[in-house]
Amino acid sequence: MKPRQPVSHAKPSARRTDAAERGDAPGALGAFPSVRLRRARSTPWSRRLVAEHRLGVDDLIWPLFVIEGSDKRVPIASMPGVERLSIDNIVASAEQAMQLGIPAIALFPNTEPRLRTEDAREAFNPENLVCRATRAVKAAGLDIGIVLDVALDPYTSHGHDGLIRGSEIANDETLEALVRQSLVQAEAGADILAPSDMMDGRVGAIRSALEDNGYANTLIMAYAAKYASAFYGPFRDAVGSSVTLASAQGQRDKRTYQMDPANSDEALREVALDLAEGADLIMVKPGMAYLDIVRRVAETFRVPTFGYQVSGEYAMLQAAANAGWLDGDAVMMESLLAFKRAGAAGILTYYAPRAAALLREKR
Ligand code: PBG
């Protein structure tokens, strides 16, 4: 008896694949000569057409540093190109932001050293720098959102975000101070309060105080997942808290309240709590090294999630750009787009005006 011929049940196309896998297919690309991802990349118009994510001016929030005086611009050594501005110049920057189409600015005070105290009372002085700056921008009739940080670090003699009792950052006593701070800021006209202090329970405390005092429409953007990061160094120079924090008795870092960079699940818990307590918007900070967190938060909660490209990230890119080692504009735009790709609704960035100007040119 003749041995049976082996019968192939494979479809002709599959047989072609086998042939290709053996390396004897005619096309240079092997099994799937028709799959060329480069086709859609080949022209500017086709790249635009297939782009999955886009950076727009509407995505930007511009952080600004406020100082006393008038007609003042004081450079910040560790943030080349960024200056502390007196209130008149803050108003001018707000006007510039509006002309560029930037939807919101964030104001941070460099409080005079004599006003920094153990009890941070300047934080709830209705005439403090950020409150006056906010009123000035509103008085100029500018239709732009104003974000104010809620935290005590620009006002404490020790540079911590909370009040110190004994050797501890006292959570619950700090909440009372944060509530008072929030109310003077809302009264001054702040549109968005951004608690950045990382005390437990602060969003709930602030939200109910706002409700009780006629500020039900004030938004809260919670720095929900804020990490104890060395990337904040230049910001602390800008607001003057590097010096105060270095002089603090005992603890000189913020690891007992800001998050451990080792953690990611914990960020989801922080966000869940802040949302339950009444946060409208969520922020993750720092940005570039934490885009995995932006992604997880945005996907898990489906709420507007903002990334903060912090001072150290700006300093890093800008230093390399100024040295001629990187193309500054290119890395700026690429880094900002990365936030969008991660799922961010928007980005706080010191590059906001430069990015907005470039986006405008492109159109
Ligand atoms: C204050 C605050 C910090 C930043 C924003 N709000 C610094 C800190 O927590 O020490 C950092 C922003 C930046 O680095 O650009 N609580």
Residue 8 has pLDDT above 60, yes or no: no
Question: Ligand 1: which of 232, 254, 349 to mutate, judged by most atoms within 8 Å of the beta carbon?
Answer: 232
Indicate whether 17 pLDDT > 80.
no
Helix (H, G, I), strand (E, B) or coil at 294: helix
Judge whether residue 24 has pLDDT over 90.
Answer: no
CA distances from 304 to 241, 280, 307, 320, 321 (A): 30, 8, 10, 32, 31
The CATH number of whichever domain residue 184 belongs to comes to 3.20.20.70
Any domain includes 16? no
The Cα 258–Cα 266 span in angstroms is 11
Dist CA 313 CA 65 (whole Å)? 17
Show which residues are catalytic.
226, 285
Residue 15 predicted with pLDDT over 90: no
Nearest to 148 by CA among 104, 84, 99: 104
Domain presence at residue 327: yes
Q: What is the mean pLDDT of the chain?
A: 93
Tell me: pLDDT of 161 over 80: yes
User: Tell me, what's the pLDDT at 19?
Assistant: 46
12: pLDDT confidence band, cut at 50, 70 and 90? very low
pLDDT at 1: 44
Q: From the alpha carbon of 149, which atom of ligand 1 is closest?
A: 6
Q: What is the 3-state secondary structure (H, E, C) of 62-101?
A: EEEEEECCCCCEEECCCCCCCEEEEHHHHHHHHHHHHHHC
Distance (Å) from CA 232 to ligand 1 centroid: 6
d(CA 42, CA 92): 43
Per-residue model confidence as pLDDT tens digits over 255-314: 999 999 999 999 999 999 999 999 999 999 999 999 999 999 999 999 999 999 999 999
Give per-residue pLDDT as tens, 95-123: 999 999 999 999 999 999 999 999 999 99
Q: Which amino acid is at 218?
A: T
CA dist 342 and 298 (Å) reads 8
Nearest-CA residue for ligand 1 atom 12 is 310
Residue 131 belongs to some domain of the structure = yes
How far apart are the C-alpha atoms of 358 and 335, rounded to whole Å? 14
Total count of domains within the chain: 1
In a domain, 328, yes or no: yes
Distance CA 27, CA 15 (A): 15
Residues in a beta bridge with 83: 75
Q: Is residue 19 part of a domain?
A: no
Residue ID of nearest Cα to ligand 1 atom 7:
232
pLDDT tens, position by position, 43-91 = 999 999 999 999 999 999 999 999 999 999 999 999 999 999 999 999 9
Tokens 């960079």 -> residue? 261
CA of 70 to the centre of ligand 1 (A): 25
In-domain check, residue 24: no
Question: Residue of the nearest CA to atom 5 in ligand 1?
Answer: 196
Single out the residue of 21, 40, 22 nearest to residue 32, CA to CA.
21
d(CA 171, CA 254): 13
Q: Which atom of ligand 1 is nearest to the CA of 233?
A: 14
244 Cα to the center of ligand 1, angstroms? 14
How far, in Å, is the centroid of ligand 1 from the Cα of 151?
9
pLDDT confidence of residue 27: 65
The pLDDT of residue 7: 47
Position 31 confidence tier, pLDDT thresholds 50, 70, 90? confident
Rounded CA-CA distance 302/124 in Å is 34
Q: Which residue has the tokens 């886009």?
A: 54
The reply to whether 63 falls in a domain is: yes
| pTM reported for the whole predicted model | 0.91
According to DSSP, the β-strands at 60-67 and 83-86 are parallel
- Residue 236 alpha carbon to ligand 1 centre in Å: 7
Which letter does DSSP use for residue 158 in this model?
A: T
Cα distance between residue 137 and residue 94, in whole Å: 7
Rounded CA separation 184/167 (Å): 29
Parent domain of 331: 55-361
The answer to whether the CB of 175 falls within 8 A of the CB of 183 is no
Q: Is 315 a domain residue?
A: yes
Ligand 1 first shell, C-beta below 6 A: 149, 151, 153, 161, 196, 232, 235-236, 254, 310-311
Q: Which of 82, 197, 202, 235 to mutate to test the pocket of ligand 1 (most atoms within 8 A of CB)?
A: 235
